[in-house]
Amino acid sequence: MEIVILSSIVVTLFIVFGITVYREINKEYTPPVKEMGPRANMVNFMGRLFDDKQTIKEQETIFKAMTRTISDMEGDGVYFPDSVKEELEKKREELYCEYSNLPSVKSYAD
């Protein structure tokens, strides 16, 4: 009795597998849609960082843009209100340890 039940389950799964394979083979091919959005842009950006086709000048420009701080931006003429600076300082104090400047426990809570 157990062999009959097990055999019927295996045969049923094989038939379902066969039907699924047949449907996938007969599907008409549609090329994938190019993904857009912030996640796709970030993945493309990271891919361009390690691309060998970039010139040294392009790589330096990207690296400088990634390491810009508020003081660098203010040196270039972009100024922030004091309220924004105070809020960033408050967040920094919460997210980094006062002594070691490593991420605090609160930074891992989110």
Domain segments of the chain: what residues? 35-67, 80-110
d(CA 47, CA 53): 11
Instruction: Provide the pLDDT for residue 65.
Output: 67
- In this predicted model, what pLDDT tens digit does every residue of 20-36 receive, in sequence order? 999 999 988 888 788 78
- In this predicted model, what pLDDT tens digit does every residue of 71-93 receive, in sequence order? 666 666 667 678 877 887 787 77
The percent of residues in the chain predicted with pLDDT above 70, rounded, is 77
C-alpha torsion 9→11→14→16, nearest 10 = -70
d(CA 11, CA 3): 12
Task: Return the CA Rg of the chain.
Answer: 28
d(CA 29, CA 79): 52
Contact assessment for residue 96 and residue 107, using Cβ atoms and an 8 Å cutoff: yes
